[in-house]
Structure formats: structure tokens, C-alpha cells
Chain A
Amino acid sequence: MVQDAPVTVDPAAAVERVYREQGAKLFRSLYAFCGDRELAADALAEALAQALGRGDAVESHARWIWRASFRIAAGELKARSTSKPVTLTHDTYEMAEPAVDLVQALTRLSPNQRVVAILHLYADMRTRDVAAILGVTQATVRVHLSQARRRLRTLLEDDDG
């Protein structure tokens, strides 16, 4: 679940706190989304820098950073290729096999299905929170989540077999 840092008079401290408490999960989520460590790190750093720049104009730092970092990552993916699905970069050899299988399976989903699955199934966000981060309705989240689950089960079952 995404938790906001307590109310503080120092926005920079709030941003840093989000990073310290949720940065690892956010990075892994971004990595699962884009399949590229460097891109995930860039998106996270960019979102944090932008959050710092906005200062106290940001009401909910955690939500804003999650939302911005995924948008940035999605934009980078789109800029690289508008039609081809993401492919894993060479750094997967450092990962355990289950994680490689999962990230590989995620590449077979549409971007919306992928991000909804990651936020709900890995980041443990409620569909309400996912909807707020993506700026869509809960019903839309449910549709994508349902489809993502079904496809992931099929893909991972095939992989298990």
C-alpha cells in the first residue's frame, strides 16, 4: 500500500522520506513495468527531482511520485518504440529465474494491464489507489486487472509447464 509521508513543513524531507521508505519497491515496480534497470532508475530519479522542484505544491508526495515515475517510464518506452512490446535488457542474467519469468510474462501484457497488475499485485495498492494514481475509474482498473490476471496465469502456467 502507498503511504504518504507525515505532514511536514519541509517538502524536500517529505520527498526524501518517500524515497527511503518506498524507493526500493517503486524501483522494482518500474523495472517490472519497463524491463530495463537504467530506464527505471532514470524515471524514478526524474520523478523525485520534479517532486523536489514542486515543493509544497504537491499535496501527496508518495502518490505524485508513483504517478509521475510511471508516466515518465511509459513515455520513455513509447519514445523508444510505439509498436514493439518491451524486451528485457541484458541485465536479466543477474536476476533470479522466477523474477525473469515474471518480468518476461509482463512484457506480454498491454501497458495498462501491466501497470495495473504491478501496482495491485506487487505494490499492494487497492484498486481505488491504483485508479487515483492512473487517473482512471475503479471500473477501468478492474477490467485491466482482470484481463492481466487471466493472461498472466496463462503465461506463467505455460512457463511452469
Chain B
Amino acid sequence: MADLRERFRALDQVDTPDVWPRVGELGPKPPSPSQPTIARRLGIIALSFAVAVAGIGLVVRALGTTPRPVVPRPPSEPVLLSVDVGDPIPVGAYPNAVAVGEGAVWVSVRDAGSEGGQILRLDPRSGDIEARIQMEILPGWEFGGGGIAAGAGRLWVSGRRSQSEGGCCEATIVAIDPVSNSIVREVPFGLGSGADVWVDGDDVWVLTFTEGNGSMRLLRVNATTYDVMATIELPTTWAQQVFTSGGSVWVHGTKPDARGPVEVNTLYRVDPERNELVDVISFDIQSFPLAADDVAIWHREIGGIARVDPAGGGLFVDVPTQGEDCCGRIASDGSGGVWFFDRGTPERGIVIHLGPDGAILAESAEAISPVEGVASDLDLETLTFWIVQYEHTVTPVRIRLG
């Protein structure tokens, strides 16, 4: 096929009308709000072009080299998988977050009508409940099943503590010792609410809603001293995920300063060397949830799933899925690939494992009924998706070869 630029040269053959006389008929149009509809529409139209980052005073850095699109070509037939959807495990009133790490599966279970509840510790193989830790603070519902993370020898739980005068609220994070299953520290951050949390090395990255939920902050907490090492203001009013990838810290939220019922479709990249926001990438559609590890970020696309290279910023792989709305639960494989539930139909889907280049490494031999939920995490040791249902239960979905 000819070079794409050459293909575009075909447009030079399109006849062009002389519109200048029409400009004269329209006449100069002053930029006043009382002008005809097409001028007023200009402001609304702006949304369709993702005019998102103007005016935020952001230093935008060019990222790496030119993207190298890769057309996925499976090197051989995919490995066939069997998928065992386990019995739902009753865990309590309202489970809303799950994290795997520090030798256990951890589930946040809120009481009805309370900020508190329990953190449950589950055996990653049997699913048995090994411990219940009473909590006054647990993650909220509103940011999509995050807010707990295991790492650096602790389980980290974000939330908010109501102030004694009845005011609301103080963002906070609680550190739990996974050996004693007890709370060892609470770190307050000032007015607001804790959102998602991520652990990378000795850094705990905590997203917080500011007071009144007008904006978001990213806090860097030292996992050993519990000191707040940096506070980074973010130009988004809503963010649901924080993670590290490719040497950067990423926040997944709405477009800058977007308000109202808008999509989570934008990545904010923070340079941890300078603790500064350095880049913004917006996608076409709602990209939440996405999966990331050190070398890849996978996100939903129109009719597929796509990978962004966190170091280069370009899109490297775009893989069509059976389901038009792409994915159910999704998780990184820790090596640049991704596991996800492909919704072939609303009733039936399959589990797929893609390699870093988008090749299908494995897929379930038989379609299964989709296991939906409000949150999930993948245990890479046991290859088990732990999926939290909105009320009462957690379901293990175990993946096996053959």
C-alpha cells in the first residue's frame, strides 16, 4: 500500500469552491454572545475536540520517539484456558474494594450508613476469611473500587474522618500491619476525602478530593516515616485511579476542569523526580478502568483494548475485541501484557490474555457468563480474579491451563 501521506495527496484532486463571496455575504462577525447560533455553538463544539488542557499552565513535554504501531500477530495458536467461577464468598454488608498483596486478599467491607466497617483478610488459595479488622475509615464508593493497596510491608487504606464538630471531613490514610493484622498508623491530610492509593517502593501515592470536591490532589507519603513528601495539585475535578508505570506516576481522571457528568478518559503524568505534573493524554471514550504495570498501560477503546507506552506516550497496540464495549474486569499481567474479560455478548464472554505486543497468548475455551462487580484485582500467583460484588459477596474466578 502506498504511504499514507501519498494517499492523502488524492485530496488535491478535489475541486474547491470560491467561498470568499459568501464571506462577504456573511459579513464580519463580532465575537458577541448575541451573534447567530453558529457562533454561540462554538463554545459547545469545543468539547468534541477534547479542548481540555488549555489554560492550566502545564509544561507539556514531548514524550520519546515517534510511536510504532504494532499490528498484533499471534506467534502461534493461543493457549486454551478453563475458567472456574467459584462460589460467592459472603463477606458482609457492602464490599467495595479489593487488593491482593502482602500474602493475602484484602477486602474493604463497609457497614450500612457508616464511614467504617471492616477490612477482611482472605486466604488467596482457599478464600477463607482469616481476619477481620475493625475500621473507622474505609474507601468511598465514588471512585470505582480503589482506595486500598498492599505494599511496602503494609496494607494502605484511604478514606475520610468526620470532624468532631460535625463538619466534613478530613482526608486520611490508614496503615495496617499484615503480620499482626492491626492498625499501626493513621496519616491525616487536611480537609477533603481520600480516594485511590498506590504503593511503589517506599512511596505511597494517595489521591484526595479537596474540600467540596472541587479539585484533586496527589500526595506522596513516605511508607517508612509516614511523612508527606510532596503535594501535587491536579487540574481535574474527578480522578479514580493512581498508579506508577514507566518511571512516572499516573492519575486517571476526567479532562482538565471538566464538570458535570463527564467521562474518566484522561491520564495525567507526574514526574516523581520533580513531583510535577508534566503531561496530559486524553482518549476518545471512557477509559476506566485501565490496567498498568511498569511497561504498559492498557485501556478501553472503541471496540477494542489499546496499549499506551508509558515511556513514549504513543499508542503501540490496539486490539479489537468481540464486544463493542470492550472489557469487563481487566488486570495487568505484570510483564506488559493484560488479562481481561471480553464481553462477546451481554450474556456470554471469554477471558483473554494478551502479550505486550497485543498477540493473544491465551483465551478461555468456552464462553462464560460475565462476572460483573464493583472492583477486582488479579492474584498473579494463583491466577485468580477476585471480584467484589456490590452487596455481600466476593467471587474468585480461577484461570487454569487447558
Report the minimum CB–CB distance from A112 to chain B (whole Å): 6
B80-92 Cβ-contact flags toward A at 8 Å (1 or 0): 0000000000000
| Cβ-neighbour of B11 out of A71, A102, A147 (below 8 A) | A102
B184: A residues at CB distance < 8 A = none
Q: Contacts A45-B19, A121-B4, A136-B282 given: A112-B50 contact, CB under 8 Å?
A: yes
A side interface size, CB within 8 A: 73
Chain B nearest CB: distance from A154 CB in Å? Answer: 8
Q: Is the CB of A45 within 8 A of B23?
A: yes
Which of B39-47, B113-121, B150-158 lines the interface with chain A? B39-47
Q: How far is the CB of B320 from chain A (nearest CB, A)?
A: 10
A44 within 8 A of B: yes
Within 8 A of A (CB), among B1-35: 1, 4-5, 7-17, 19-20, 22-23, 26-31
**Are the C-beta atoms of B13 and A143 separated by less than 8 Å?**
no
The reply to whether the CB of B60 lies closer than 8 angstroms to some CB of chain A is: yes
Whether A147 pairs with B318 at a CB distance below 8 angstroms is: yes
Q: Does B38 contact A (CB under 8 A)?
A: yes
Chain B neighbourhood of A45, CB < 8 A? 19, 22-23, 26
B279 within 8 A of A: yes
Decide: B281 and A99 in contact? CB cutoff 8 A: no
Q: Do residues B48 and A54 form an inter-chain contact, with CB atoms below 8 A? A: no
B26 and A46: CB pair below 8 A?
yes
A54 touches B30 (CB 8 A): yes
B13 touching A140, Cβ below 8 Å: no
Contact of A28 among B14, B39, B45, B54 (CB under 8 A): B14
Residue in A27, A128, A156 whose Cβ sees the most chain B Cβ within 10 Å? A27
B17, B29, B51, B315: the one within 8 Å of A27 (CB):
B17
Closest Cβ–Cβ distance, residue B224 to chain A (whole Å): 34
Q: Is B63 an interface residue when CB atoms closer than 8 A count as contact? A: yes
Residues of A within 8 A of B1 (CB): 153, 156-157, 160
* CB-CB nearest in chain A for B46: A71
Closest Cβ–Cβ distance, residue B70 to chain A (whole Å): 9
**Interface contact A49-B45, CB-CB below 8 Å:** no
CA distance A78 to B41 in the complex (A): 11
- Confirm or deny: A10 has a beta carbon within 8 angstroms of a beta carbon on chain B: no
Q: Decide if A146 touches B302 in the complex (CB within 8 Å).
A: no
Query: Is B330 part of the contact surface with A, judged by Cβ < 8 Å?
Result: no
Interface size class on chain B is 35 or more
Q: A52 near B28 (CB under 8 angstroms)? A: yes
List A residues 107-161 near B (Cβ within 8 Å): 110-113, 115, 117-118, 121-122, 128, 131, 134-140, 142-147, 149-154, 156-157, 160
| Residues of chain A within 8 A of B20, CB atoms compared | 16, 19, 23, 48
B contact residues around A29 at 8 Å (CB): 11
How far is A139 from B314 in the complex, measured between Cα atoms in Å? 7
> Are A27 and B16 in touch, CB under 8 angstroms?
yes
Asked if B4 and A153 sit within 8 Å, CB to CB, the answer is yes
The winner among A72, A95, A121, A160 for most chain B CB atoms within 10 A is: A121
B226–chain A nearest beta-carbon distance, Å: 34
Query: Are A28 and B30 within 8 A (Cβ)?
Result: no
Report Cα–Cα, A78/B38, bound state, in Å: 12
Q: Is the CB of B48 within 8 A of A111?
A: yes
Whole-angstrom CA separation of A36 from B19 in the bound complex: 15
Residues of A contacting B302 in the complex (Cβ-Cβ under 8 angstroms): 110
Contact call B23/A49, Cβ cutoff below 8 A: yes
A-B contact pairs, 20 of them (CB 8 A): A27-B17, A27-B19, A31-B11, A41-B17, A44-B19, A46-B38, A49-B29, A53-B30, A54-B31, A70-B49, A78-B45, A135-B46, A137-B53, A139-B60, A143-B283, A144-B284, A147-B69, A150-B315, A151-B318, A153-B69
Residues of A within 8 A of B (CB): 12, 16, 19, 23-24, 27-29, 31-32, 37, 41, 44-46, 48-50, 52-55, 57, 68, 70-72, 74-76, 78-79, 94-96, 98-99, 101-103, 110-113, 115, 117-118, 121-122, 128, 131, 134-140, 142-147, 149-154, 156-157, 160
